[in-house]
């Protein structure tokens, strides 16, 4: 038991030491931090709508509650001031013929309640503005207009936060690992992606970026240098019919950054493959982007994905997500360079450029016949 725990602990420590920093997490969040930004943070208040939408729910709800409670209390103070200046409060002992600006305001609490009734247009009928003073009428109009603005902005922000396409992206899932194997006689990097909803993504487009550190011929070190990775399916990489899980693949040819990698050296590479899927949500017509990433430890050389779609006896198509990320070992060349060299050698043999079975035999010399 002790040896087993020690082995598990040792393997866990090794895995943590091998863990690489990644720019994009598996669920699509970006791991980046901005430091020493010269512009003031007040510039985010200029685009207050985007700032509010990007806030976390706990901060958004705090602002939502604070906006209403703060405006109710502020206008409650103003109503109390109006009543105090006009001497409508009980401590001033108003006469029987005295007409107050607001009926039945006896203190700060009643002023707060009247402010709440005015802004949310409840109107119980117990407290009301009289025509005695223009200040109260102006304050009533101003609070009503401001209340509509606050209500529209905050409720709109909550609705926009709920209906953001970012939530739709959570129902698009990628396979845990990417695999490298032969497909159609070519060495390819394959990734599986699935739509968990029956509603489609319209105009879907999939592509990738390979992030790595490169050194230019001038000696400049570029961290997170981006290289385009083209992904295709059998019908192309645009306008995907995304009704069932798709296996997208990247052909490892001489123009691919994976061409010089091999099964023995891929784990020693330092790269991060980021995959993007863009599309339009069918229900809301809002654009949506899903992304994930793969590091060298998550790229399996010499594997393919297990079948996932089958047909039932009733004639329906069934997708078994238990095999979604399951892989099966297959015979695969250990590098793309070897595969293309093998193809070139076979092509030359077919054209007759080389015949390894040919043997040159020397014949014996014949003597001249005399006539």
Q: Which residue has the tokens 């990007």?
A: 54
Residues sharing a CB contact under 8 Å with residue 106, sequence separation 6 or more, in sequence order:
89, 90
Q: Both 83 and 151 in a single domain? A: yes
Look at residue 368 and tell me if it is in a domain.
Answer: no
**Does 272 lie in the same domain as 134?**
no
Q: Looking at the structure, do residues 113 and 200 belong to the same domain, yes or no?
A: no
What's residue 339's pLDDT? 76
Tell me if 33 is assigned to some domain.
no
Average pLDDT rounded to a whole number, residues 28-46 = 73
Q: Identify whether residues 182 and 314 lie together within a single domain.
A: yes
**CA distance linking residue 297 with residue 268, whole number of Å:** 9
Tens of pLDDT along 138-152?
999 999 999 999 999
Cα–Cα distance, 90 to 317 (Å, whole number): 78
Domain count, the chain: 2
Whether residue 46 lies inside any domain: the answer is no
C-alpha span between 61 and 196 (Å, rounded): 29
Greater confidence, 322 or 39? 322
pLDDT at 17: 43
CATH code: domain of residue 105:
1.10.287.70
* Predicted confidence band of residue 359 (pLDDT cuts 50, 70, 90): low
Please check the confidence at residue 366 and state whether its pLDDT lies above 60. Answer: no
In the structure, what pLDDT confidence band is assigned to residue 41 with cuts at 50, 70 and 90? low
Instruction: State yes or no: pLDDT of 10 exceeds 80.
Output: no
User: Of 207-211, 283-287, 312-316, 362-366, where does the model show the most confidence?
Assistant: 207-211
Q: Cα–Cα distance between 264 and 79 in angstroms, integer?
A: 78
Same domain, 146 and 261: no
Distance CA 53, CA 160 (A): 7
Give the count of beta carbons closer than 10 Å to the beta carbon of residue 174: 23
CATH number at residue 281: 2.60.40.1400
pLDDT tens for residues 115-135?
999 999 888 888 999 988 899
Out of 97-101, 107-111, 166-170, 358-362, which region has the weakest mean confidence (pLDDT)?
358-362
Locate all alpha helices (DSSP H) within the chain, ordered by sequence: 2-18, 43-46, 48-54, 57-85, 108-119, 134-162, 165-168, 336-351
Highest average pLDDT, of 15-29, 50-64, 164-178, 330-344, comes from 50-64
Given a cut of 80, is residue 369 above it in pLDDT? no
In terms of domains, do 159 and 173 share one? no
Residue of 201, 205, 174 whose CA lies nearest to 298 = 174
Q: Check whether residue 208 and residue 308 sit in a common domain.
A: yes
The reply to whether 329 and 196 lie within a common domain is: yes
Residue with tokens 């070190």: 221
If asked whether residues 309 and 224 sit together in one domain, one would say yes
**Within 10 Å of residue 249's Cβ, how many Cβ atoms?**
24
Give the structural domain span for 249.
167-349
The model scores a pTM over 0.85:
no
Are residues 224 and 89 both part of a single domain?
no
- Residue 79: predicted pLDDT: 95
Whether pLDDT at 371 is above 50: no
């Amino acid at each position: 038991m002790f040896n087993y725990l020690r082995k598990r602990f040792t393997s866990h420590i090794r895995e943590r030491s091998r863990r690489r920093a990644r720019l994009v997490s598996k669920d699509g969040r970006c791991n980046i931090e901005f430091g020493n930004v010269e512009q003031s943070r007040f510039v985010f208040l200029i685009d207050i709508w985007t700032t509010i939408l990007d806030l976390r729910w706990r901060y958004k709800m705090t602002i939502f509650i604070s906006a209403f409670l703060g405006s109710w209390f502020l206008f409650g103070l103003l109503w109390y001031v109006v009543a105090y200046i006009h001497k409508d409060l009980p401590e001033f002992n108003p006469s029987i013929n005295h007409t107050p600006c607001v009926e039945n305001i006896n203190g700060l609490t009643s002023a707060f309640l009247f402010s709440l009734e005015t802004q949310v247009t409840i109107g119980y009928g117990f407290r009301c503005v009289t025509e005695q003073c223009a200040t109260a009428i102006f304050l009533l109009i101003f609070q009503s207009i401001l209340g509509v603005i606050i209500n529209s902005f905050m409720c709109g922000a909550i609705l926009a936060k709920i209906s953001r396409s970012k939530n739709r992206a959570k129902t698009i899932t990628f396979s845990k690992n990417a695999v490298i194997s032969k497909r159609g006689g070519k060495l390819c990097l394959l990734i599986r992606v699935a739509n968990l909803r029956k509603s489609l993504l319209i105009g879907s487009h999939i592509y990738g970026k390979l992030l790595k550190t490169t050194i230019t011929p001038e000696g400049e070190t570029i961290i997170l240098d981006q290289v385009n990775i083209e992904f295709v399916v059998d019908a192309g990489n645009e306008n995907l019919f995304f009704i069932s899980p798709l296996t997208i693949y990247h052909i490892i040819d001489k123009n691919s950054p994976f061409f010089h990698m091999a099964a023995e050296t891929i784990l020693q590479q330092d790269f991060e493959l980021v995959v993007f899927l863009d599309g339009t949500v069918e229900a809301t017509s809002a654009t949506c982007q899903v992304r994930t990433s793969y590091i060298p430890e998550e790229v399996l050389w010499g594997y393919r994905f297990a079948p996932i779609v089958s047909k039932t006896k009733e004639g329906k198509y069934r997708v078994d997500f238990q095999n979604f990320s399951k892989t099966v070992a297959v015979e695969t060349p250990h590098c793309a360079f070897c595969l293309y060299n093998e193809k070139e050698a076979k092509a030359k043999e077919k054209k007759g450029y080389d015949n390894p079975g040919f043997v040159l035999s020397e014949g014996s010399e014949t003597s001249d016949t005399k006539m």
